Amino acid sequence: TTLQVVATIGAFGDYETMKRFNGDANITVAEEAAAAGVKRMVFVSASFPPFPASIPLRGYIEGKQAAEERVRALFPNSHSILKPSVIFGKQEGVTPHPLIAAVRALGPMQEPLMTNTPLGKLSTLPVFGGVFLPWSPVEAVAKAAAEGAVRELSTLTLLPSDIAVFKH
C-alpha cells in the first residue's frame, strides 16, 4: 500500500503558540509519517518576504521554516512543500471573524491585481512585500496538495505563482 500524508497545521497567537503549532506539530506529523513508511509528504507552509527578526509573526515563520527543513530531510525526493501567500476562499457553516471575512471578500480582486499588474513586483520588499504577493485561492491550494500527494510535481517547492496553476 502506498501511503501519502498532507500536513496543513497552522495557528496564530503568541510566539510560543505559533512556533509549537506551525513548527513542532508539523514536524511531529512528518516524523510519524516517515516512521510509518509513508512514501510522499505534502506540507502546506507559507510564503514570506524578508522580515526582521523582531516582527510579531516570528514564531509563525520560524515554525513553518523548521517544519519545511524536517520534511525535506525525511522525504528528500518525495515531498511537495506548498508556499501559498494569504489563502482565501469559502468556508461553509462558520461565521468568520470580520478580518477573515474581509480577506475572503478581497481575495478574488487582490489575486489578479497582483498577478497582472506591476504591483506584484513589490512583493520582494522587506517586511511589507507580502502584501503584494498574489493571494492563493483555497481551491488551488487544495488541488495542488492533492496532486502533490499522489505524484511528483514540476518542482519540490511551489510558490504562489506555481500554486495558481492549479486553480483551473
Q: CB–CB of 34/28 below 8 Å?
A: no
What per-residue confidence (pLDDT) applies to 159? 92
**From CA 133, how far away is CA 76, in angstroms rounded?**
27
What per-residue confidence (pLDDT) applies to 88? 83
Q: CB–CB of 23/63 below 8 Å?
A: yes
> Which residues of the chain carry a pLDDT beneath 70?
1-2, 49-54, 127
What per-residue confidence (pLDDT) applies to 22? 96
